[in-house]
Amino acid sequence: MSVDSISSPADALTSEIVPAELLETIAEAAPALDRGDRQVAEFLPELGRAGLLDLGVPGTDGQSARGTLLDQAAVIETIARHSLSLAFSIWGQRMAIEYLATTGGSFAGAHLDGLRCGETVGVSGMAPAFKASAGAGELGLEVGSDGTGLALRGKLAWASNLYPDAVIVSAAYGSPADAIGSTDRRSGPKSIVAFSLSEDGVTAGPELDLLALKGTASTSVGVDIADLASAQVIGEDFSGLLARWRPVAAVLQSSFCLGLAAAAHAGAEAGLRGINEVFTDDVVREGQALVDAKSGLVDIIGRIGTAERPEPREVLSLRLEAGRLATAASALEIRTAGGRGYAVGSHSNRRFREATFIPVQSPSEPQLRWELGRLG
């Protein structure tokens, strides 16, 4: 699809690739996912069978990728129009696949097929890594020898998709060659690590009563693995891998922001009747901003992995604007919905609550603004 193909806020990023029957099922389940009565993991196998979890990721043994990164963005954007919970979960699954497919090795070989088909749940625990690489935070994990073997210790303050046997990819201070705690945390080596939630020494924190996205199995993770296999240190080129992964993570995050924004914008448009017509200019303005952001997303995705790769400022600016659009459009929808929007069970109310997650989801709005300020 070309940038010129997007002319209205409702336009899809690519031709429809999510089966209509599956999309209808997701839409019906959205309120239950929001309440936590159902869990996003229920839908991953069906999405996997439809080939919607690993679009644009090269296959094993050098096989060509099925579909493109833009196709994956379109899947996430489309599903986010109906359920941000599930779109967010797909993002985490897709990124876990990306990490393991990039680094390879025996751990990836043991888990990638299950992740691609949705039978194994994937967790992106890389938020601390992206934050630390920007100088905005610290890693919560540390890896190294403890005198008897390779150990991984620490805590992830927040992660999602934390279902039994889920595979988590994150980052840690240290390396297998060093004793744990022996290197300078800031200037010393940092490694990419992978482990399963079911491993001895890994514990999920207490269930959280979230404002929205209760069906995403989100909480903290405590880690005290005393016998980490060397194959579970899947990468030691910390800076190089993050530079490769961050644009992918950001554009797919932008996709679920824009999907939520598109649904909320449609709801706001539908409410422009009677006295609500005073919001017409606001709805039109945000609609044009949504068209511009979708066009920018298509353009940036088209340049990832090419000689004309997008600059960090472009990627971060897109992610910030996509998040702003989600919150702005949902706020307009609530205003035009009136009393109906105040009812917790309404779609407009659910979207409004879903949108409150966007400014705090990593990278948070403060982090994005801080990074952009540093880039000048």
Query: Where residue 48 sits, what CATH number does that domain have?
Result: 1.10.540.10
Same domain? For 38 and 135 the reply is no
Same domain? For 34 and 59 the reply is yes
d(CA 212, CA 261): 16
Could you tell me the sign of the dihedral formed by the alpha carbons of 80, 84, 87, 92, in that order? Answer: positive
Using DSSP, state whether 333 is helix, strand or coil.
helix
Mean pLDDT of 282-306: 97
Mean per-residue pLDDT over the chain, rounded: 94
Same domain? For 297 and 210 the reply is no
Task: Give yes or no for a contact between 212 and 353, defined as CB atoms under 8 angstroms apart.
Answer: yes
Identify the burial level of 373 via C-beta atoms within 10 angstroms of its C-beta, where 0-12 means exposed, 13-18 middle and 19 or more buried. exposed
Specify the pLDDT at position 292. 97
Residue with tokens 């630390």: 132
Residue 170: beta bridge partners? 125, 193
Q: Given a cut of 60, is residue 192 above it in pLDDT?
A: yes
d(CA 286, CA 46): 34
- What is the Cα gyration radius of the chain? 20
Task: Give yes or no for a contact between 233 and 299, defined as CB atoms under 8 angstroms apart.
Answer: no
Give this prediction's pTM. Answer: 0.96
Q: Given a cut of 80, is residue 263 above it in pLDDT?
A: yes
- Confidence bin at 60 (pLDDT 50/70/90): low
Contacts for 61-69: CB closer than 8 Å, 24+ residues apart:
67/17, 69/248, 69/251, 69/252, 69/301, 69/304
Q: In this predicted model, what pLDDT tens digit does every residue of 152-179 receive, in sequence order?
A: 999 999 999 999 999 999 999 999 998 8
Query: Which residues are CB-neighbours of 58 under 8 A, at least 6 positions away?
Result: 64, 65, 101
Same domain? For 140 and 95 the reply is no
Same domain? For 68 and 116 the reply is yes
Kindly report the CATH number assigned to the domain that includes residue 277: 1.20.140.10
End-of-domain residue from the set 206, 237, 268: 237
Same domain? For 225 and 309 the reply is no
Identify the burial level of 117 via C-beta atoms within 10 angstroms of its C-beta, where 0-12 means exposed, 13-18 middle and 19 or more buried. middle
Provide, rounded to the nearest whole percent, the portion of the chain with pLDDT above 90.
86
Q: Given a cut of 80, is residue 183 above it in pLDDT?
A: no
- Confidence bin at 376 (pLDDT 50/70/90): confident
One-character DSSP codes across 234-298: EE--HHHHHHHHHHHHHHHHHHHHHHHHHHHHHHHHHT--GGGGGGHHHHHHHHHHHHHHHHHHH
Task: Give yes or no for a contact between 354 and 34, defined as CB atoms under 8 angstroms apart.
Answer: yes
d(CA 341, CA 259): 19
Same domain? For 138 and 12 the reply is no
Helices (H), the chain: 20-35, 44-49, 69-80, 84-103, 106-117, 127-133, 238-270, 280-303, 312-337, 339-342, 347-355, 365-375
Domains in the chain, number: 3
d(CA 203, CA 219): 10
Same domain? For 278 and 182 the reply is no
End-of-domain residue from the set 106, 121, 136: 121
End-of-domain residue from the set 237, 267, 299: 237
Query: Which residues are CB-neighbours of 352 under 8 A, at least 6 positions away?
Result: 264, 330, 331, 333, 334, 341
Specify the pLDDT at position 147. 86
Same domain? For 132 and 245 the reply is no
- Confidence bin at 15 (pLDDT 50/70/90): confident
- Confidence bin at 211 (pLDDT 50/70/90): confident
Q: In this predicted model, what pLDDT tens digit does every residue of 76-109 receive, in sequence order?
A: 999 999 999 999 999 999 999 999 999 999 999 9
Same domain? For 175 and 79 the reply is no
Kindly report the CATH number assigned to the domain that includes residue 195: 2.40.110.10
Same domain? For 364 and 265 the reply is yes
Q: In this predicted model, what pLDDT tens digit does every residue of 116-128 receive, in sequence order?
A: 999 999 999 999 9
| Domain ranges, residue 137 | 125-237
- Confidence bin at 311 (pLDDT 50/70/90): very high
Residue 153: beta bridge partners? 142, 224
Top-confidence residue, 65 or 206:
206
d(CA 114, CA 107): 12
Q: Given a cut of 80, is residue 36 above it in pLDDT?
A: yes
Same domain? For 115 and 97 the reply is yes
∠ at Cα 122 (313, 80), nearest 5°? Answer: 60
Residue with tokens 């359920």: 83
* Beta strands at 190-196 and 233-235: parallel, antiparallel or unpaired: antiparallel
Specify the pLDDT at position 340. 82
Amino acid at 314: E
Specify the pLDDT at position 48. 97
Provide, rounded to the nearest whole percent, the portion of the chain with pLDDT above 70.
97
